[in-house]
Amino acid sequence: MLEILTIEFMRNTLLAGVLVALGLAPLSVYVVLRRIVFVGAAVAEISSAGVALAVLFQVEPFAVALVLTLLTFLGFSRAADSPRLPLEALIGMLYAGGSAAAVLLIVKAPRGEGEILNVLFGNILTVPQPLLWAMAATFAVVALLQFVASKEFLIAAYDPDMARALGISVNLWNTIFYVALGVAVAIAIRAVGALMTFTMLVAPGASALCFVRGLSGAFTIATVIGVVATVAGVFASFWLDFPTGPTIVAILAATFALSYGYAAMRGA
């Protein structure tokens, strides 16, 4: 059963998946509660446009994707508090604009298609060792930030007026939250692709919120769901000869369906 762990690239796959789960699953609670679930999808498109741009101009794709992702999230942090337009309109336009830009840039980039596909669908099986270290460091910082800034992140999201009345800067903490989210998403997309990143940014939090009674429990349960689904997905894909990323995504989707069904039966 554990022969999978004797194969180096499968060990790396498992490690990459677990790191992404540890990094994104706790964030997914806020992503769901802040109603920004499609940010992940929009940012994936922006990221792929960034990669296409980088290929076109022959510069490092990840650097361009990271910069564009961070700029997008910084834009979200400013727009999150705007009374002019619902945030989802901005997310929708970024999704559409990012998709169009990616396609148009691919057309002009002679070697772009393969790299774009790698960003969009990722390949958890081929995560290089240096990227694993970068992921571990990045997600550790993001997790630590979430822990120490829990009260600021909570009140800025839950009751911005109250936060301001208490002298807590909502703009500052929204910016810090979105930058942390942006960095985590950028590195996760680079490692495991847009589909798994997007799902990990929604499913664990959405599943946990179906049955928890307190917020601190939601972070713990979301993280457990993310890690367990990832480990189960890696093993299942190995035994059943399925692609790993989509297997993890399918397990996360099934977990959400069960959680949602449980909540519905309970009348929550």
Partner 1 sequence: MANELVSVRSVTVGYHGRAILRNLNFAIERGDFMGVMGPNGSGKTTLLKTLLGLLDPLEGTIEMRPANGVPLRIGYVTQRERLDAHFPLSALEVAIMGRFGMIRALRRPRREDNEIARGCLRRVGMENRAARPYRELSGGQQQRVLIARALAGEPDLLLLDEPTNGMDVEAERAIMELLLGLQQEKSTTIVFVTHLLSAIEHFARRVALITRDGTVVIGDKAAMLAPDNMARAYAATET
Quickly list DSSP for 5-31: GGSHHHHHHHHHHHHHHHHHHHHHHHH
Closest CB 144 distance from partner 1, rounded Å: 10
Q: Is 2 in the site for partner 1 (CB under 8 A)?
A: no
Closest CB 53 distance from partner 1, rounded Å: 36
Name which of 252, 165, 181 is nearest 33 in CA terms: 181
Taking the C-alpha atoms of residue 245 and residue 259, their distance in angstroms, rounded to an integer, is: 21
Candidate ranges 58-66, 96-104, 115-123, 161-169; the one touching partner 1 (CB under 8 A):
161-169
Burial zone of 176 (CB within 10 Å; 0-12 exposed, 13-18 middle, 19+ buried): middle
Q: Is 148 in the site for partner 1 (CB under 8 A)?
A: yes
3-state secondary structure of 133: helix
Q: Is 1 in the site for partner 1 (CB under 8 A)?
A: no
Q: Which of 94, 192, 218, 248 binds partner 1 (CB under 8 A)?
A: 218
Cα–Cα separations (whole angstroms), residue 207 to 108, 147, 169, 236: 41, 21, 30, 21
Residue closer to partner 1 by CB (options 129, 150) is 150
Q: Is 114 in the site for partner 1 (CB under 8 A)?
A: no
Per-residue x/- mask for partner 1, residues 28 to 47, rule CB under 8 A?
----xx--------------
Name which of 253, 248, 235 is nearest 192 in CA terms: 248
Candidate ranges 2-10, 184-192, 207-215, 249-257; the one touching partner 1 (CB under 8 A):
207-215
Residue closer to partner 1 by CB (options 28, 72) is 28
Tokens at 66, concatenated: 């990271």
Closest CB 86 distance from partner 1, rounded Å: 14
Cα–Cα separations (whole angstroms), residue 125 to 26, 199, 259: 24, 18, 29
Q: Is 79 in the site for partner 1 (CB under 8 A)?
A: no
**Site for partner 1, rule CB under 8 A:** 32-33, 148-152, 154-155, 157-159, 161-168, 209, 212-215, 217-218
